[in-house]
Amino acid sequence: MSQSPRSRRTARAITYSVVALLAGAALRYTPTIQARRPAAELLATAGAPRYAAADDPTDPAATAETSAPRLPSGAVWHQEVDTIARGETVDAVLGRHGLPGDELARAMRALTRDDLRRVPAGMTVTVGGVSTESLPTEITLRYAVDRVVNLHRDGDRWTRRELRLPWVTDTVAVAGTIVSSLYDALDGAAPTLPRGARHELAWTLADIFEYRVDMSRDLQRGDAFRVLVERSKSPTGAVKLGRVLAAAFDLQGTEVEAVRYSSRGASGEFFDASGKSLRAAFLRAPVEFRRISSVFGLRRHPILGVWKAHKGTDYAASAGTPVRSIGDGVVVFAGRKSGYGNVVDVRHRNGYVSRYGHLRGFARGVRVGSRVNVGQTIAYVGMTGLATAPHLHFEMLMGGVQRDPRVALQQLKGGEPIPGRERATFAGVRSSLLAALEQRVGHGGGPQRVANAE
């Protein structure tokens, strides 16, 4: 039998009340644990400058505990739990839980501008009071898993307290082997990490290696990866990943390495084994990490229905997805061109021309003669011309002849090297981080499928 809306609301309120009480107990009886600074510690041992540490959520000034309410004789504590709907305001929720106009105004004045401006949809609001009083005495706003704002009423005055739950930070290594995709490999390699964190890690790795590796098409079955990343855990069990400190991909026997290092003389955050920046002159892909629907070579044309050479690479992506210039250059064509539909051609200094076809439209200011920078949005994915679905058709041309983009871009991967005066420092940082990575991954067997995430 289905429950009535009122019954469902009552059941939900009871469930939320139990959760709120348990959370309050955790806040009161969980001791504050000083967060470790694994990245700084690792780098300090190598004699390198310390990186700026993440904000410390265990600041004693921000971790005040909530005292359990003292009830008058014969009084009973009761509370109601609600959630903020999309587009709803805090005062609207409090108004329907028994706060009259004047009292509501006083409670709202106790909140800060930041409290009122950043109200996430789905935020839990708990309103509590004692049976002997007509007005609530406690209001709890849970903005995030680690941030709680509490309002306490004493007479006609409301006071605000913000609680920051302590996170404990360490480093964790994740290693695995590619079978179908990086997403699936991370799902199998780190099952103890939240799914969202695993996907975020995949996107971060794609961003780090975007000048060297196209995660959509360069990865092959049997390729392996390993990554050292910061992990933070809250007392309630929530897990979030922080900065990647080091990572490596074994691509068909060729290793591509990324080590986080702050150089004064070379641009970029990550450097390879030889000390060259991973930030190079050309990106490996004109769209962010996405699935490719077709690769360079022979294929059956989806509209013409005949076999012909497909002189480029197709990136399947939703209509409107930003298209990036793979390098600095000058726009030499922006318009309509037969089966390409809307197309942009960019000439680069080395003589190559990159072509982007089937576009829905061009970015503002993109016209013949315009100068564009590497990574700049120049157009948007569409399905103009001979296209059956939204996707980007990408080509590299030399002397008007199409070249395999994978081969052409592989030859253009050089990055800015670290200055000679920093070589010794970089070597120490690299040695320390890779040693920590290998220690956590394990010895004698290469990358493991199971993450050291416990």
Look at residue 21 and tell me whether its pLDDT is greater than 80: no
Please check whether residue 453 lies inside any domain of the structure. no
pLDDT digits 0-9 by tens, 279-327: 999 999 999 886 566 666 655 656 666 665 667 889 988 999 999 999 9
> Phi and psi for 54 in degrees, rounded to 5?
-65, 160
Q: How far is CA 8 from the centre of its chain?
A: 35
Please check whether residue 335 lies inside any domain of the structure. yes
AA identity, residue 191? P
Quick one: pLDDT at residue 296? 63
Quick one: pLDDT at residue 68? 47
Please check whether residue 46 lies inside any domain of the structure. no
Quick one: pLDDT at residue 439? 87
- Indicate if 375 and 227 belong to the same structural domain: no
Look at residue 79 and tell me whether its pLDDT is greater than 60: yes
Highest mean pLDDT among 88-92, 176-180, 403-407: 176-180
Residue with tokens 């920051």: 164
- Indicate if 92 and 115 belong to the same structural domain: yes
What gap in Å lies between CA 370 and CA 340, rounded to an integer?
21
Quick one: pLDDT at residue 118? 83
- Indicate if 172 and 270 belong to the same structural domain: yes
Residues 6+ apart with CB under 8 A from 291: 181, 216, 315, 316
Please check whether residue 127 lies inside any domain of the structure. yes
Quick one: pLDDT at residue 443? 39
What gap in Å lies between CA 248 and CA 257, rounded to an integer?
4
Quick one: pLDDT at residue 350? 87
Choose the weakest-confidence range: 34-43, 67-76, 344-353: 34-43
What gap in Å lies between CA 426 and CA 419, rounded to an integer?
10
Quick one: pLDDT at residue 442? 65
Beta bridge mates, 144: 147
> Does the pTM exceed 0.75?
no
CB count in 10 Å sphere of residue 167 = 23
Please check whether residue 151 lies inside any domain of the structure. yes
Look at residue 367 and tell me whether its pLDDT is greater than 70: yes
Quick one: pLDDT at residue 238? 83
Look at residue 15 and tell me whether its pLDDT is greater than 50: no
CATH number assigned to the domain comprising residue 202: 3.10.450.350
Please check whether residue 141 lies inside any domain of the structure. yes
- Indicate if 195 and 129 belong to the same structural domain: no
Decide: 286 and 315 in contact? Cβ < 8 Å.
yes
Give me the percent of the chain exceeding a pLDDT of 70: 76
Highest mean pLDDT among 3-12, 62-71, 208-217, 297-306: 208-217
Give me the percent of the chain exceeding a pLDDT of 90: 47
CA nearest 416: which of 264, 197, 306, 207? 264
Taking residues 22-35, what's their average pLDDT? 37
What gap in Å lies between CA 189 and CA 247, rounded to an integer?
15
Quick one: pLDDT at residue 178? 94
Taking residues 381-404, what's their average pLDDT? 93
- Indicate if 150 and 224 belong to the same structural domain: no
Taking residues 400-427, what's their average pLDDT? 89
AA identity, residue 109? R
Q: Taken in order 365, 366, 369, 373, is the CA torsion positive or negative?
A: positive
Single residue among 123, 146, 164 that ends a domain in this structure = 164
- Indicate if 160 and 183 belong to the same structural domain: no
Look at residue 114 and tell me whether its pLDDT is greater than 60: yes
Quick one: pLDDT at residue 18? 41
Choose the weakest-confidence range: 34-43, 128-137, 378-387: 34-43
- Indicate if 12 and 144 belong to the same structural domain: yes
Q: Residue 257: give the domain boundaries.
A: 168-281+415-441
Choose the weakest-confidence range: 6-15, 108-117, 275-284, 358-367: 6-15
Q: Are strands 297-300 and 239-251 parallel, antiparallel or unpaired?
A: unpaired
- Indicate if 155 and 297 belong to the same structural domain: no
Single residue among 123, 143, 164 that ends a domain in this structure = 164
Please check whether residue 42 lies inside any domain of the structure. no
Single residue among 395, 410, 425 that ends a domain in this structure = 410
Selected residue with higher pLDDT from 34 and 307: 307
Which value, in Å, is the radius of gyration of the alpha carbons in the chain? 28
- Indicate if 303 and 423 belong to the same structural domain: no
Quick one: pLDDT at residue 323? 96
On average, the pLDDT of the chain sits at: 81
Please check whether residue 70 lies inside any domain of the structure. yes
What gap in Å lies between CA 362 and CA 336, rounded to an integer?
11
Quick one: pLDDT at residue 424? 96
- Indicate if 112 and 211 belong to the same structural domain: no
What gap in Å lies between CA 258 and CA 210, rounded to an integer?
11
Quick one: pLDDT at residue 345? 98
Taking residues 364-382, what's their average pLDDT? 96
Selected residue with higher pLDDT from 16 and 225: 225
- Indicate if 347 and 428 belong to the same structural domain: no
Tokens of 183: 């997403």
Look at residue 28 and tell me whether its pLDDT is greater than 50: no
Selected residue with higher pLDDT from 5 and 95: 95
What gap in Å lies between CA 212 and CA 414, rounded to an integer?
9
The number of domains in the chain is 3
- Indicate if 199 and 143 belong to the same structural domain: no
